[in-house]
Structure 1
């Protein structure tokens, strides 16, 4: 008959019995890691000042533990460090009355330092709530100053490491630097843009070159001048004959714009001189040789939009609208064949350069 050793059975029973205990220990360790860092406050449970310190610490997210000192136990570094270890706290705080106010002891296990500071009292009666609140805030600031040394490149050696929680709660974030001021916009700007001049009435569109000059002593208001030079004429083809109308615009006005880092819309208001010269036609009353010219002054409105690639270099597009009050009658062989100028529109797109 074969006898089996009871050792495997006893080992299995031991593992089953220890399982709940191990699980409980593991849960306790996890809870300890997740719980906020504790700070021990050594004072009687009913002490007004101690309760204010507890409230200030809890407002920072710490877990405060009150330890009642023995009646005859003097404040000392050894007793305070022992109190912090007994409470499993990162620091311990104790305050005792002094001749000028309150003598504060702070044992910091993270930096390995014990801070002793006497805080003068000038707030009034010893039981006044304002006094307790003011002193409690100053005590917590002393603790912050001590713990912040753990963030130095060479922190003081301590019993406990500075956990990420401590660094997060007590870190001092440097104020963000204000953004650098935007460079001033150039006062003088020159634009160069090809465009098209169009007016309904029978004649086609004409190509032009739009030259602009803007003086902007203010970021919002300035003076502008422009000249739209004809590159081609507005043509009308007839049987056995064609006519061309060349139009030049020259204007001055006021520019209204807005301050913008990238996009800068604008509106120009002013007066423009319209110069017309025809070939193979008569403008208004005409001239006998088949060539004619005329001039008139009209108001204009020009809307623009600029995109700043750099503060001095922009891409720009403009649309100018105007109208000649009576319009221009185009005649050939003493007959009206077209009209022009009621209304007229100049669209252009090009570059805008700042100089000063």
Structure 2
């Protein structure tokens, strides 16, 4: 089958190459998916940049939508012909390929109202936002208070705003600075927008006592600001991994720090691994009901090394609003 392999290299164009590899062998609970569309996330860029020199390619890709072509002997929730979406498993070959083997417990039927391209933009960011809100922060339909979403115009922030507004009663404060990112956050449903370049001043002007919940995709150098703008007994959930992060300044306020990695369940095959399938199924229902909308802002109709390279450059620019998708 065809695939896009990633190698250690100085440039994106040298790293991503069109290759031919064997069709993956299915494990007992795997489905074999013919991939129709993928989206590129910061994790793809980080994984590519961290590659060690090797003659063996790494197949990246952690968001996909496609059609089930075959199932393993113990698969019970999906069938050949199902249109599905998923975010994959960081320990296995990814979705930048013609065919991909994925454990059924992290795969769900995609929203019926979305194209493959529009669906491919959502799984990873939806899982990350959902687990942050409901597993890490512990929010429910009755939850109130103030949620500050940093990076609100990005992939995770775009979904987090929508989910928080649809499924909780919290007030959502989003960070954005450019006109287009502010407009995007408002479109997603943010109640209030603050400039992340003036995060402390503008947040405390809006919420003098501090916010209850803070979502952090960029934590390095921000802990003193977080301490100032999160109220006592508040919660922070982070998705980045800054080296040498020192959190002791949060202790006086008893601020809880949570980590979120949506790959944890698949990496460790946790007993509740199937929760990701259930989460995606519920999200698909919300999309079909018109509660959640896709976050695609750019579609590249070139499922090749060249098309993926363009998408990687977009993500690396740090100026993406919404998501970029690569489709066949």
| Alignment TM-score > 0.5, same fold | no
Instruction: Name the larger-Rg structure.
Output: 1
Choose between structure 1 and 2: higher strand proportion: 1
The structure, 1 or 2, with the larger RCO (C-alpha pairs under 8 Å, 6+ apart) is: 2
TM-score (norm 1): 0.19
**Structure-2-length-normalised TM-score:** 0.20
